Amino acid sequence: MRRSLVVAAGVAATAAACAPRIDPTRPVIAMPVTRAEASGYTQTSTYGDVTTFLNTLRARNAPVAIGSIGTTTEGRAIPYIIASRPLVTTPEEARRLGRPIVYVNANIHAGEVEGKEALLALVRDLVYQRRANVLDSLVLIAVPDYNADGNEAFAPESVNRTEQNGPERVGQRPNAQGLDLNRDYMKAEAPETRGALAMFTAWDPDVYVDLHTTDGSYHGFALTYAPSLAPPAYAPGFAGDFTRDTLLPEIRARMGRRGIPVFDYGNFDSVYEERDITDTVKHGWYSYEHKPRYGTNYYGLRGRVSILSEAYSHDPFRKRVASTYAFVQEILSATARHAAGLAAIRASADSVRDPEVAIRSRLTTHPFDAPIPFEILVHTGDSTQTQPGVPRGVRRTGRFKTQVMPVYDRFEPTLSIQRPTAYLLPAGFPAVIDILRRNGIALTPATAGTAQRAQLFVVDSVTHAARPFQKHDETRIVGHWRDTTITAPAGAMLVPADGRLGALAAYFLEPESDDGFVDWNFFDPALTVGRPYPVARLVR
């Protein structure tokens, strides 16, 4: 594949002979093709393929800017590519253009490879298109190989992606630290996450898209999607309602007209297992989780549009690339059409006044009924494997049924708090300060010695999860609030709880938050039963 990307100098000299203004000594560089395309969709790109592809775009004078969001554990620069007409290369230039910025992330789970291939192909096709296209209406930032280290840990898909229909060899799910990057957005332990946060803070994209592959139910959709499932993303002024109720239904209708059925992400039943796949009765369609440790849930907490994309793992690789390509295309078109609406959301989110933030939630208790298609699978009576990703002894029939069932596609708060004016963080927690700053939250030193009204959370009990998760024993504390007056100790910092990022600050710092610093053990050494949690709410 690489050979096809290098210069074909002899051919170029011949072709140039009848084109007088072309320098015959200057080589013609072939249009870049992805490894998926070059291999007939039997292989996926290596890191080297991705960088060669991008370098070829540059060598062919494509109007793109190429850079890196950060460096992985194993030392790979994670590439990003910016495309827009006119081209911008800095956040300041992008803001002056006054257009929506769309950030598309691929390969966060490096076995789920079609996003990487679709995104490279889409950028290439857009930048070389002469007629007007979405690049005249928005700024696209593409990150095709986010988990670059995981991508290089190639193994048979029977090892790295057990429920996927090709290609034969893919990368692994976690990064080189063994972390699932799509559980890392709050604790930000991975260099990849830190790179992403720096990009979010610098560019403040209006739309964030994260490309994945499903790994469960045999449903009848080519792709499933989800807006942010974190309830604070639906605060007045934030983009949650617009994403869920306007943007995604519009994109779904357009995809349907293209013959690509899409629907809200889900799986049959809450614990869908292999034994369930041949059942003809399904009991419900269930989404995943609301916690902001997941990228698209997290990004909604920043007040902007965020969209999860999950290509159907049982479709062949070629079809998954095509579905993902079309879905991203439709997101870009919808963003261009709604540029004015997105600008209004940007203005309203920045001045959001909603005092409430949901910090614990549960799956909705009010599902709606909808017809959901599912495939009929049959037992073969032996132990042969009929298709990669399908359990042995089971065969797909290509016949579908549709059943009306309850759809659980959203979450409802179980605990909401009133935002304080600010949080007072005492000295001694540099990792907390570091992460808040990486999120763009503007901390300021507290004025020592001034008495202020405050609320302190007195710890009644501390429990740790019985099983480790992402190398943590998640912590939960129970306690009670006490009104008091405090004076800021030396070295304390004020964390603002107002404005657009105030909801995110609350999710990080509230002691009862289900995905904050307490949960991820940042405050473990400072938690003592009968004593206050170290962070105080400052109130009027």
Please give the residue ranges that form the binding site for Zn ion (CB under 5 A): 109, 112, 212
Rounded to a whole number of angstroms, the minimum distance from the CB of residue 488 to Zn ion is: 43
Instruction: Write phi, then psi, for 100 (nearest 5 degrees).
Output: -65, 145
Rounded to a whole number of angstroms, the minimum distance from the CB of residue 103 to Zn ion is: 17
Q: 2 to each of 46, 145, 146, 149, how far by Cα in Å?
A: 11, 18, 21, 20
Q: Based on CB atoms, which residue is closest to Zn ion, 112 or 163?
A: 112
Rounded to a whole number of angstroms, the minimum distance from the CB of residue 212 to Zn ion is: 3
To which H or E segment does residue 296 belong? helix 295-301
Under 8 Å between Cβ of 315 and 415: no
Concatenated DSSP letters of 476-539: EEEEEEEEEEEEPPTT-EEEE-SSTTHHHHHHHH-TT-TTSTTTTTTTGGG--TTSB-SPEEE-
> What are the residue ranges of helices labelled H in 155-262?
157-160, 191-203, 240-242, 248-257
Rounded to a whole number of angstroms, the minimum distance from the CB of residue 67 to Zn ion is: 25
How far is it, in rounded angstroms, from Cα 389 to Cα 155?
14
Provide Rg for the chain, Cα atoms.
25
Under 8 Å between Cβ of 254 and 147: no
Q: Based on CB atoms, which residue is closest to Zn ion, 194 or 212?
A: 212
Rounded to a whole number of angstroms, the minimum distance from the CB of residue 182 to Zn ion is: 6
User: Hey, what are 386's tokens?
Assistant: 């009929």
Q: Based on CB atoms, which residue is closest to Zn ion, 56 or 213?
A: 213
Rounded to a whole number of angstroms, the minimum distance from the CB of residue 320 to Zn ion is: 13
User: Hey, what are 165's tokens?
Assistant: 């229909």
Q: Based on CB atoms, which residue is closest to Zn ion, 109 or 219?
A: 109
Q: 151 to each of 145, 171, 176, 180, 351, how far by Cα in Å?
A: 8, 4, 10, 13, 40
Give the position of tokens 């499903």.
214
Rounded to a whole number of angstroms, the minimum distance from the CB of residue 214 to Zn ion is: 8
Find all residues with CB under 8 Å of 501, minimum gap 6, and list them.
Answer: 302, 439, 440, 441
Concatenated DSSP letters of 56-120: HHHHTT-SEEEEEEEE-TTS-EEEEEEE-SS---SHHHHHHHT--EEEEEE-SSTT--HHHHHHH
Q: Based on CB atoms, which residue is closest to Zn ion, 183 or 410?
A: 183
Rounded to a whole number of angstroms, the minimum distance from the CB of residue 108 to Zn ion is: 7
Under 8 Å between Cβ of 451 and 486: yes
Q: Based on CB atoms, which residue is closest to Zn ion, 174 or 496?
A: 174
Rounded to a whole number of angstroms, the minimum distance from the CB of residue 112 to Zn ion is: 5
Q: Based on CB atoms, which residue is closest to Zn ion, 152 or 210?
A: 210
Q: Based on CB atoms, which residue is closest to Zn ion, 37 or 210?
A: 210
Under 8 Å between Cβ of 66 and 97: no
Q: Based on CB atoms, which residue is closest to Zn ion, 204 or 210?
A: 210
Rounded to a whole number of angstroms, the minimum distance from the CB of residue 321 to Zn ion is: 16
Rounded to the nearest 10 degrees, what angle do helices 114-127 and 47-59 cross at?
A: 0
Q: Based on CB atoms, which residue is closest to Zn ion, 212 or 500?
A: 212
